[in-house]
Amino acid sequence: MTDLPFGFSSSGDDDGKDEDTGAGKGGAGGSQNPFGFALGGEGFDPSAGLDPSALGQMFSQLGNMFSGMGSSMSGPAAGGPVNYDLAAKLARQQIGNFTPVLGKETAAVADAVRLAEVWLDDVTTLPAGISKPIAWTPVQWLDETMPTWKGLCNPVAAQLAKTWEQNLPPEAAQFAGPMMGMMTQMSGMAFGTQLGQGLGQLAKEVLTSTDIGLPLAPEGVGVLLPEAIATFADGLDLPAQEIIVFLAAREAAHVRLFTHVPWLRQRLLATVEEYARGISVDFSGITDATAGIDPTELFSDPSKLEELISSSASFEPTTTPEQKAALERLETLLALIEGWVENVVTQALSDRIPSTAALTETMRRRRASGGPAEQTFATFVGLELRPRKLRESSALWLSLLQASDVATRDKVWEHPDLLPDGNDLDAPASFIDRMIGGGTSELDSAIAELERSLAADADATDTDATDPTDDPAGPDKGDDEGGPATR
């Protein structure tokens, strides 16, 4: 599983030309790399030795390569950091045939959500958040969640585009100037290709709108995807009705959290943006990848250009300490969300649905095995929701509940400053002490401080209790100082 950020790829078979085209703005830089690869150190004169007919042939072949993209190559979305029209088109192609949602499936989803909401009311102070339970096809999921994907992907893609542009060698930048518009378009197409492939796969396998831990559906909408759930249930020897209610409870719990914790949605997106601002690309690999290649050969033989684009080793992201901190915060926040949902769903269903424990473990293993949600998010943002963090988060919420009550547990979501951090997940005792005020270390410190205060008061009392008349020098001293001898 890759942990490279959106726009980069590893050398696996699944990464292919399209994803590597997106690698590190490679799609954009790739089409322009006749003037972008390893030119700064060689003093290459782009005006020397170029055959205009070869250049025309190259662009003609590039045009043929993308002729099948239709209006997605020239629409309004073609000029942005990500070509979302292209992404949607490719995702729909990958989804292929799908089963339309039947009326009985919509009714079953509504019934399951209503039942789950009643049971959740008993175990959380957060009120119900779903106003519209609905069943979606994979295509509906794609269309309805695209606005949220734009918010997630735009900051990363835009920063990568800016980084690539700023790091072009001077000669290459001068030569690329008149063609920067095309460079931007190719960049957006490369990202759109990668996004479309990822979302097309994800749309066929997600079970609910919050399967990835993010609020992808419109506010107040609770979603189950019957076709994916049927496939999921085929591998389990459990009653289908129990599976549906369990998934409905998970969806309802997520929606409660995202609806009634107003800062949470924006906090997730802001952390992604914070990560994106620190993205940089190590361009040293470009020189190694292009050693011995005649730049003019790239014009006359587009296959050489394609070969360079396919070399993901040329684009290696560098991670700054600030980015690592942002990823840690994002990973922790996602784990806290998932752990809280697991905690309340288990509390609500364990006495009512016999398969709750088995389904909970199945969902954990789904995370641990690198399911589509984790893989897609890791590809786009460079983050994986690690099972270790998930299990520790679940244990923290359970420990807090056992040490206090439901109200104290849910109060943690009132403000982001109250949330536990990564250190608290590793050692939850101190966090629980802070929330319930029962930490022995704090009590010991308070007792020690009280003892010091009592001792100081005792000393002062002893001093004040000394009778001045018992001191022969007392009255004389008072007189000498010109003041009263008594207090």
What confidence tens digit (pLDDT) does each residue in 155-210 have?
A: 878 877 776 666 665 655 555 555 555 666 777 888 888 888 889 989 999 999 99
Residues 112 and 27 in one domain: yes
State residue 218's pLDDT score: 92
pLDDT for residue 422 is more than 60: yes
The answer to whether residue 341 sits within a structural domain is yes
State residue 439's pLDDT score: 45
Q: What is the pLDDT of residues 126-165, one digit of tens each?
A: 999 999 999 999 999 999 999 988 888 888 788 777 766 6
Percent of the chain at pLDDT exceeding 90: 39
The answer to whether residue 399 sits within a structural domain is no
310 phi and psi angles, rounded to 5 deg: -75, -10
Residues 35 and 135 in one domain: yes
Q: What is the pLDDT of residues 448-457, one digit of tens each?
A: 565 677 677 6
- Among the three residues 368, 383, 412, which one is the final residue of a domain in this structure? 368
CA 25 to chain centre: 20
Band of pLDDT at residue 464, cut at 50, 70 and 90: low
264 token code pair: 């949470």
The answer to whether residue 264 sits within a structural domain is yes
485 burial type by CB count under 10 A (0-12 exposed, 13-18 middle, 19+ buried): middle
Which range of residues forms the domain containing residue 189? 16-368
State residue 447's pLDDT score: 52
Residues 266 and 353 in one domain: yes
CA angle 298–304–307, rounded 5-degree value: 140
| 13 or 62: which leads in pLDDT | 62
CA distance 103 to 115: 19
* Average pLDDT over every residue of 275-301: 60
Residues 357 and 470 in one domain: no
The answer to whether residue 260 sits within a structural domain is yes
Residues 352 and 454 in one domain: no
Residues 450 and 338 in one domain: no
Count: domains in the chain: 2
The answer to whether residue 416 sits within a structural domain is no
* Average pLDDT over every residue of 400-414: 95
The answer to whether residue 422 sits within a structural domain is no
Handedness of CA 65, 67, 68, 74 (dihedral sign): positive
The answer to whether residue 379 sits within a structural domain is no
Residues 327 and 461 in one domain: no
* Average pLDDT over every residue of 232-241: 92
- Among the three residues 340, 368, 396, which one is the final residue of a domain in this structure? 368
Residues 465 and 354 in one domain: no
Residues 132 and 42 in one domain: yes
- Among the three residues 368, 384, 416, which one is the final residue of a domain in this structure? 368
Question: Model's pTM, two decimal places?
Answer: 0.70
Residues 230 and 344 in one domain: yes
State residue 37's pLDDT score: 29
Residues 350 and 461 in one domain: no
Query: Mean pLDDT across the chain, nearest whole number?
Result: 74
Residues 99 and 183 in one domain: yes
State residue 194's pLDDT score: 82
State residue 253's pLDDT score: 98
How long a stretch of residues is the chain? 487
Report, in angstroms and rounded to the nearest whole number, the Rg of the chain calculated over CA atoms: 31
The answer to whether residue 385 sits within a structural domain is no
What is the phi-psi region of residue 367: left when phi exceeds 0, alpha when psi lies from -120 to 50, beta otherwise? alpha
